Structure formats: C-alpha cells, structure tokens
C-alpha cells in the first residue's frame, strides 16, 4: 500500500521577536495579523475561542483555507506555516532537525501567548507534531484532531516489521538526494505521484506548487525526521482526547477497507484516540471531501 508522502520520498530518493512580514507568500486574509517566529509563522484571523492549525510536509497554511473562511466568524484562528515550506523562508529550519524542534517551538509559542490548554488540528507531518505534543506536553492540549498521520510513518514503507534502524539508511538517502535534485527532475518525479495525494487535478497542481516553492533541504530533513520518529511507545500514555481522520484511499487504487487494519493496529494502544474514516478520499481529506471534513471538524469542535 502506498501513502502520499511516498510520492515525495520517490522524488527526493528558539524563538525570535515577532516581526512584520507584509509579503508573506502564504498570507490568506487581508485583515489578518502575521506573527513570525524562528521556525514558523502564525496568521491570526477571526474572533472567539482559539484554534491552532498545522499543515503537513511542504504544505502551505492554505491547506486550511476553506475551514478558516468558514470558522473565522466564530473562532480566532492560528494558521501555522512551517519555515522552509511553500515559500516561507527557512530561518531557524535552515539547518538541523525540523519536526521535533518545530513542534517544541510551537508549544513554547502556545504557552507564551496563553493559548493553553489549546485545541490543535494537524495534517500529515503536522499531525505527527500533534501526536508528539500530546505525548510530551499533554497538559498544554485541551483536545486535538489529527488528519491522516501515523505514529510511525515508516510503517507505510516497511510494513509491520518497520524499525527506526531499518528505515534510517533509506531516510538518509532521501534526505541527502534532495539537496542536489534539479527542479525539472524534481517536478517530473513528483507529478506521477500526486494522484496518491489528492483526487482532483486542481488540488494536485496546488500541492505541486507548494512543493516546488519549498526549500528542498528543509523538506528532505523534515522527511527524514518523520520517517525516523517512532511515537508508538508513548501512545498508551496519551491522555489528550484526539480525533483521527484517515482516508479510505479508494480513489487512488485501494480496495474498500484495505487501509483500516493499518490505522487500527498503529493506534491500538491509544485509549483516547478515536478513529474516523473518510471515504472517497486520498491524503488531503480537506481538499478531496470538503463537506465530510467540515462535518467531522464541527463534530470535533462540539465535543467538550
């Protein structure tokens, strides 16, 4: 079974003071406020209870645009953009690890801004960041929604026998090759894989644009982090209520029910994580099935 980031894999084979950033390439709303930190920026829009959204690998905060437009009248939204992704300058992510330091920086920001205990929604690698926060800073989370992420991404590539030691050489090769791949080669290898990420041609084109605008070195190191971070041992200790949405992948070639065992087995130790499958969808559930995603998000937000 293939998951969306395999397409990217094939293609790749400390807070600073808030600054104004009027030319942010991912700014969604003219009346929003952008706060810049070393490893991410936050676009703040709307009024009401605070919600925090984290996009995935090489993705823009525009992943959440439809949700933001719909919810901004009732919530104050914090739309995170990871530094180095989708045209955002790399800043503190220009070197070294990405996933855990960025998750820690987001947590520190939530505390600094008095947003804790926070309600956080994360997609893909952003979802892995949420799982990390639930294990290491669970008292800072009120509840969370994870959209198509696993506690150990290498399960997708190596199956149930996956270990960090087994996946590390492959992950390192992907990380290192990303530094030298020419744009044309990168684009050419990405295009055939986009069908595994989203259903419509328009969504695939958007995702490709985000990838092409991303810092190749940051993406490679972030993918390495995602592949080698095994969060399974801490699942049983999570106390945060988490809703996990996952796609059926039928539009990208899976047969009905094929992906259920993967998610059920991966999250079996987690007593506070409720799984919900969204049918007729690929990895970007919010783009493929916007109404089903909106309904699931509203049901999650209605929970205490």
- What is the average pLDDT across 141-170? 97
Res 263: pLDDT? 98
Tell me whether residue 123 is in a domain: yes
**Model-level pTM?**
0.92
CATH number, position 233: 3.40.50.1820
Query: Tell me: the pLDDT tens digits for 75-101?
Result: 999 999 999 999 999 999 999 999 999
Confidence of residue 3 (pLDDT cuts 50, 70, 90): low
Tell me whether residue 304 is in a domain: no
Residue 9 has pLDDT above 60, yes or no: no
Res 232: pLDDT? 98
3-state secondary structure of 238: coil
Tell me whether residue 300 is in a domain: no
* DSSP symbol at 61: G
The span from the CA of 159 to the CA of 180, in Å, is: 29
Residue 23 has pLDDT above 90, yes or no: no
Residue 162: count other Cβ atoms within 10 Å of its Cβ: 18
Number of domains in the chain: 1
Domain range for 92:
5-295
Tell me whether residue 245 is in a domain: yes
Tell me whether residue 28 is in a domain: yes
Confidence of residue 58 (pLDDT cuts 50, 70, 90): very high
- For 17, 38, 159, 198, the CA distances from 245, given in Å and listed in that order, are 35, 30, 20, 15
Beta strands in the chain (DSSP E): 33-36, 40-46, 49-54, 75-82, 118-123, 141-147, 242-247, 273-278
Query: Tell me: the pLDDT tens digits for 270-280?
Result: 999 999 999 99
């Amino acid at each position: 079974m293939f998951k969306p980031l395999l397409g990217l894999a094939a293609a790749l084979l400390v807070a600073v003071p808030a600054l104004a950033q009027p030319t942010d390439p991912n700014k969604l709303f003219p009346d929003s406020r952008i706060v810049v930190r070393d490893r991410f920026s936050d676009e703040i829009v709307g009024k009401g209870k605070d919600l925090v959204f984290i996009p995935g690998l090489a993705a823009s905060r525009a992943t959440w645009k439809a949700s933001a437009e719909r919810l901004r009248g009732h919530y104050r939204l914090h739309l995170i953009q990871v530094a180095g992704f989708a045209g955002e300058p790399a800043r503190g992510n220009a070197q070294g690890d990405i996933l855990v330091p960025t998750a820690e920086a987001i947590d520190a920001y939530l505390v600094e801004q008095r947003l804790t205990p926070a309600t956080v929604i994360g997609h893909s690698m952003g979802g892995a960041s949420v799982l990390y926060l639930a294990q290491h800073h669970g008292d800072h989370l009120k509840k969370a929604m994870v959209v198509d992420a696993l506690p150990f991404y290498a399960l997708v590539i190596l199956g149930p026998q996956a270990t960090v030691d087994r996946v590390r050489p492959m992950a390192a090769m992907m990380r290192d090759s990303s530094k030298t791949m020419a744009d044309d080669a990168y684009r050419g290898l990405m295009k055939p894989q986009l069908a595994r990420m989203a259903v419509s041609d328009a969504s695939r084109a958007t995702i490709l644009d985000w990838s092409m605008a991303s810092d190749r070195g940051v993406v490679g190191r972030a993918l390495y982090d995602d592949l080698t971070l095994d969060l399974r041992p801490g699942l049983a200790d999570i106390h945060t209520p988490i809703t996990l949405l996952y796609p059926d992948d039928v539009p990208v070639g899976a047969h009905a029910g094929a992906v259920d065992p993967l998610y059920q087995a991966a999250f079996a130790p987690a007593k506070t994580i409720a799984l919900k499958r969204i049918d007729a969808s690929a990895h970007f559930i919010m783009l493929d099935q916007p109404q089903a995603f909106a309904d699931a998000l509203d049901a999650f937000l209605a929970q205490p």
